[in-house]
Amino acid sequence: MSRSGEDEVSLVDLGRERPQVPAQARNMSPIVPRASISGRALVAVVAIMTFLASITTGTVLLVSASAAEWQSEVASEITIQVRPSAGRDIDRDAQAAAEAMRAQPGIVQVRPFSKEESAKLLEPWLGSGLSIEELPVPRVIVARVQPGTTLDLAAFRARVTQAAPTASVDDHRAWIERMRSMSGATVFAGIGILILVIIATIISVSFATRGAMAANRPIVEVLHFVGAGDSYIANRFLRHFLMLGLEGGLIGGGAAMLAFGFSESIAGWFSGTPVGDQFAALLGTFSLRPSGYLALAAQALLIAAITAWASRRTLFATLDDID
Amino acid sequence: MVRFENVGLRYGLGPEILRDLSFAIPPHSFQFLTGPSGAGKTSLLRLLFLSLRPTRGLVNLFGRDVSLLSKDQVADLRKRIGIVLQDFRLLDHMTTYENVALPFRVMGREESSYRREVIDLLKWVGLGERMDALPPILSGGEKQRAAIARAVISRPHLLLADEPTGSVDPTLGRRLLRLFIELNKSGTAVIIATHDITLMDQYEARRLVLHQGRLHIYE
């Protein structure tokens, strides 16, 4: 081969007049330029989706934690009502029932409500200055069950009614069942919302990937020309999408964590007001446990991984079309 | 190396633009592919580069029936073929050096292992001063030389060039032809598609002439 038409130098061996080459390594441009992928819109979509998913998950965690607390509190109590009956002394019956309850193994505390306390309980409905003697008001006895004890309720009920025939035992099972179904419905709705958010994320990411591939079609074609396989090309794009997914997940998940972090302070500002008390009754202290924050972080990573997966799936489908 | 048997090609439901092509490209051979504009030269090159599949007939490349190849196998075979297209297909965000080095990069080679080779070749094709320039600021002739350098840098077994001297002056055209000849001497089979008679007259080689979809071979 000739360089100038006179001196013959082979293409295979250029060694005889090889020019000096700068020794330093070059900073190579990325094969797929980052700016060519419409990243901002995708980061915003992933961030919003992650935020919504995190808020949903966090709220579900708060409601189920509060419901579990209520359930354990209510389940550890048994209420006995001793109704007045003609020919029976209600005070004696109440005392007999209380004695029978104290004798029951597994009962750690028995608290009979006095006449005055019973009147106090009725005060919101009947007003103050009530003479309880004139009304057939049942007497209430509350018993606390030792945590972890399984009480034989039928035997307990038999023992109490033997002592006081007009007594009825309520272990709040119906209330607990209703509570359980309510918290179950909340969790179910939360999972439904999460699934919708994830589907919306997959669709958005697929569209963004397709757009990016269309914009970079000339690059894909050249890479095919120089012998690059689909995996090689897909990996060049995938790295971008994984980074965009992580960025979006971090922003959305981080914003949600901050929101939950501040919610405790906000709940504190409203405590004592009717709204604050309602929220406190429903959602407890409104503070997420550390495991909740961990769950939100894991969810943000999951959404980033879903972004990468959806992008990879679309990439291979688009590469099939381009070839 | 390449064998076509009764190959036909049509686009969609249109007429057959290549008909009953039967020929072989032996290893280390050099040939011009010529014919009037629209005769199907580019389509034949695309068949040879596996970016088109024939509508009928058999294409055998490097001993493999191309109709049986998977996508990965096609990609592997393409690493043994260099191609220079009329529209150059350089990547605008990469420098001339990076464009020429792209085949090595795709092969997964370290930059230090091919740097000297790429710079030597760029100097040889007259782009030594334009190594760090981006394609949008290169002239047509410079782009063409960069595209040729990218096609030959990995010493392909088969080189396909579509009008490789179309955008350069006669002196540089002669020089590029010598590059192809040297590459052929080093073992690469070369097919140059051109309708430049002057170029063909500069080197005694086999001529494949496409006319009305049929191929006539002049040894």
pLDDT tens digits for range A211-262: 777 778 888 889 988 889 888 888 888 888 888 888 889 999 999 999 988 8
Q: Does B119 touch chain A (CB under 8 A)?
A: yes
Q: What is the mean pLDDT of residues B139-159?
A: 92
Judged by CB atoms closer than 8 Å, whether chains meet at A26 and B79 is answered as no
Q: What ipTM did this prediction achieve? A: 0.86
Task: Measure the CA–CA gap between B46 and B64, rounded to whole angstroms.
Answer: 17
Q: What is the mean pLDDT of residues B46-65?
A: 93
Measured CA to CA in angstroms, residue B69 lies from A214, B25, B65 at distances of 26, 20, 7
Query: Which 3 state secondary structure label does DSSP give B143?
Result: helix
- The distance from CA A165 to its chain's CA centroid, rounded to whole angstroms, is 48
Q: What is the mean pLDDT of residues B29-51?
A: 92
Mutation for testing the A interface, residue in B71, B99, B186 having most A CBs under 10 Å: B71
Residue B63 CB coordination number (10 Å) = 7
DSSP A270-288: HTTSHHHHHHHHHHTT---
Closest CA to B181 of B168, B200, B194: B200
For A17-70, what is each residue's pLDDT tens digit?
334 444 455 678 888 877 666 667 778 888 998 899 898 888 888 888 877 777
DSSP A214-269: HHTHHHHHHHHHTT--HHHHHHHHHHHHHHHHHHHHHHHHHHHHHHHHHHHHHHHH
Judged by CB atoms closer than 8 Å, whether chains meet at B76 and A33 is answered as no
Token code pair at residue A252 = 């959305």
The whole-number pLDDT of residue A36 equals 63
Q: Does B97 touch chain A (CB under 8 A)?
A: yes
Better-predicted residue by pLDDT, A7 or A220: A220
- Name every chain B residue with its beta carbon within 8 A of the beta carbon of A16: none
Q: Residue B145 burial (CB < 10 Å; 0-12/13-18/19+)?
A: buried
Mutation for testing the B interface, residue in A11, A12, A14, A220 having most B CBs under 10 Å: A11
> From the list A1, A19, A323, which residue is nearest B179 (CB)?
A1
Query: Which 3 state secondary structure label does DSSP give B140?
Result: helix
Judged by CB atoms closer than 8 Å, whether chains meet at B175 and A5 is answered as yes
> From the list A2, A11, A232, which residue is nearest B106 (CB)?
A232
The whole-number pLDDT of residue A240 equals 80
The whole-number pLDDT of residue A314 equals 84
Judged by CB atoms closer than 8 Å, whether chains meet at B83 and A225 is answered as yes
Task: Measure the CA–CA gap between A314 and A234, rounded to whole angstroms.
Answer: 10
CB A145 within 8 A of CB A108: yes
Task: Measure the CA–CA gap between B55 and B8, rounded to whole angstroms.
Answer: 6
Q: Residue A131 burial (CB < 10 Å; 0-12/13-18/19+)?
A: exposed
Q: Quick one: DSSP state of residue A320? A: H
Q: What is the dihedral of CA B107, B108, B111, B114, to 10 degrees?
A: -30
Judged by CB atoms closer than 8 Å, whether chains meet at B71 and A323 is answered as yes
Q: Does B75 touch chain A (CB under 8 A)?
A: yes
> From the list A28, A31, A227, which residue is nearest B78 (CB)?
A227
A110 bridge partner residues: A143
Strand (E) or helix (H) holding A128: none
List the 1-30 stretch of B: residues with Cβ below 8 A of A: none
Closest CA to A26 of B95, B130, B62, B160: B95
* pTM score: 0.67
Judged by CB atoms closer than 8 Å, whether chains meet at B120 and A223 is answered as no
Token code pair at residue B12 = 């969609």
The whole-number pLDDT of residue A132 equals 67
- Name every chain B residue with its beta carbon within 8 A of the beta carbon of A19: 119-120, 123, 128
The whole-number pLDDT of residue B128 equals 92
Main-chain phi, psi angles of B209, to 5 degrees = -110, 120
Judged by CB atoms closer than 8 Å, whether chains meet at B106 and A10 is answered as no
B73 to chain A: closest CA residue: A229
CB A256 within 8 A of CB A197: no
Judged by CB atoms closer than 8 Å, whether chains meet at A229 and B76 is answered as yes
A1 to chain B: closest CA residue: B182
For A280-315, what is each residue's pLDDT tens digit?
666 666 678 888 899 989 988 888 888 888 888 888
Mutation for testing the B interface, residue in A224, A225, A230, A323 having most B CBs under 10 Å: A225
Q: Does B71 touch chain A (CB under 8 A)?
A: yes
The whole-number pLDDT of residue A10 equals 41
Task: Measure the CA–CA gap between B110 and B113, rounded to whole angstroms.
Answer: 5
Confidence label for B126 from pLDDT (cuts 50, 70 and 90): confident
User: Which residues of A fall below an 8 Å CB-CB distance to B?
Assistant: 1-3, 5, 9-12, 14, 18-19, 21, 25-26, 28-29, 31, 33, 36, 218-219, 221-232, 320, 323
- Name every chain B residue with its beta carbon within 8 A of the beta carbon of A25: 111-112, 115
Task: Measure the CA–CA gap between A132 and A58, rounded to whole angstroms.
Answer: 47
For A115-145, what is each residue's pLDDT tens digit?
778 777 777 777 776 676 777 778 888 888 8
Mutation for testing the B interface, residue in A2, A12, A34, A226 having most B CBs under 10 Å: A226
Task: Please tell me the distance in Å from A269's CA to the nearest CA on chain B.
Answer: 55
